[in-house]
Amino acid sequence: MKKTLVSVAAILAGICLMAAAQNAPQKAPAAGGSVERGRYLVEDVAMCGECHSPRDSQGQLDHSRWLQGAPVWFTPTVMQPDWAFRAPSLAGLPSFTDADMTMVLEKGLQPDGREIRPPMHVYHMNHEDAMAIVAYLKSVPPNRQQ
């Protein structure tokens, strides 16, 4: 009788583990310059579209102009002299080289060596994640009106 109880308990435990695995959040794609990993980092971690994509008349992100650059929709509570009121276009990386973009993502520095301007976050990413973001941004169709 004890064997039966142990077996039923083991089966129930296995079922619970399988159910938990199916409901668990999706794993992040592997690092290493992949477009899918970059998409995950841009869209689900860093949330770049929040500032770098225009909004429609209801204040919702305009996905037809994804990462095409936009006015920053919020202001600081205390004015900062170097505040960027416009987020640049990232779609297709029109104004950044790969090295420029990795410097922004890994070191928080602009291509000219100055610190990036607020409200841009300093991420201190590792090189593999930065290259994955570069790969993804290059895959996003650029703004044809630039």
Domain contains 58: yes
The reply to whether 12 falls in a domain is no
- Rg over alpha carbons for the chain, rounded to the nearest Å, is 21
CATH number where 117 lies? 1.10.760
d(CA 42, CA 48): 6
Domain-embedded: residue 60? yes
Name the residue range of residue 44's domain: 30-139
Q: Looking at residue 143, what is its pLDDT?
A: 73
- Examine the pLDDT at 47 and tell me if it is beyond 90: yes
SS3 61: strand
pTM above 0.85, yes or no: no
Residue that the structure tokens 């992949």 belong to: 34
CA 17 to chain centre: 30
Q: How many structural domains is the chain composed of?
A: 1
pLDDT at 8 over 50: no
Torsion, Cα 73 77 82 83, to 10 degrees, reads -10
Residue 1 is assigned to a structural domain of this protein:
no
Sign of the CA dihedral running 15, 16, 19, 25: negative
